[in-house]
Amino acid sequence: MSPSAPRAAFPACALFDLDGTLLDSAPDMLATVNRMLAARGRAPRALADIRPVVSRGARAMASVAFPELDAEGIAALVPEFLAVYAEELGRHGAPFEGIEPMLAALEAAGTRWGIVTNKPEYLAARLLPQLGWQDRCAVLVGGDTLAERKPHPLPLLHAAEAIGVAPGDCVYVGDDARDIAAARAAGMPSVVALWGYRLEEDDPIAWQGDVMHDAPDALAVPRGWPAP
């Protein structure tokens, strides 16, 4: 879907979700889940089982792996999940195809970009050097950086302030309903990343983002971004 009023230049600031938007981290998550299952003598899960819920966090992935557990049992697995995931971090996943050329196009145009994720900040920060993004990403906000996390607008507002750009001059790109809700509440235009992780019953149209795209390369040109 193209913007109703194509823009002639990239936005001043582009903010991105991480898992499912910039990074295809599902393989790392699968390795984590399967290590936990193997430790209990249980059969591994397939990537197709885990992939749809990656953007929903450790609890959602643990729930897929251990469907017999109640909410309390799943919560008890989260520390183990994070510890194992820290060892698998960046070993299997990679940026989605088209992400690097898109980021390069933004940088060439003078657009500053950053990451606002619900992943714990220490894990997201460890990924940046592995991806070669540590000197390119202008701001990183994790799920535990502030008192609130997405869908609350505070992380996006904080990121815009850190970069020195008004929220309305930023665009937020994400693959989950929480991403688009956070952008709306922050007064930022938004892009729905349809290449990311979704459940079959999800309806991205209902999220009411400003633009939807099937692939990152649509954002490698100014007209792919929502008009201010």
CB 30 within 8 A of CB 92: yes
In terms of residue numbers, what domain contains 72?
26-88
Give the domain-ending residue among 41, 59, 88. 88
Mean pLDDT by 10 residues, the chain (228 residues): 65 97 97 98 96 91 96 96 96 97 98 97 96 98 98 98 97 97 98 94 96 98 92
Q: Which two tokens stand for residue 152?
A: 């609350």
Determine the residue type at 89: L
According to DSSP, residue 193 is labeled E
Give the domain-ending residue among 88, 106, 132. 88
Label the pairing between strands 23-24 and 94-95: antiparallel
Counted domains in the chain: 2
106 occurs within a structural domain: yes
Residue 27, classified by CB atoms within 10 Å of its CB into exposed (0-12), middle (13-18) or buried (19+), is middle
Residues contributing to the annotated binding site for Mg(2+): 17, 19, 175
pLDDT given at position 5 = 57
Q: Catalytic: which of 17, 28, 179, 210? A: 17
pLDDT in tens, 148-176: 999 999 999 999 999 999 999 999 999 99
pLDDT given at position 179 = 97
Establish whether 169 is a catalytic residue.
no
pLDDT given at position 1 = 41
CATH number for the domain harbouring residue 128: 3.40.50.1000
According to DSSP, residue 19 is labeled B
pLDDT given at position 227 = 86
Q: Tell me: do 78 and 117 sit in the same domain.
A: no
Q: Tell me: do 133 and 68 sit in the same domain.
A: no
Q: Tell me: do 123 and 158 sit in the same domain.
A: yes
| Separation CA 174–CA 147 (nearest Å) | 21
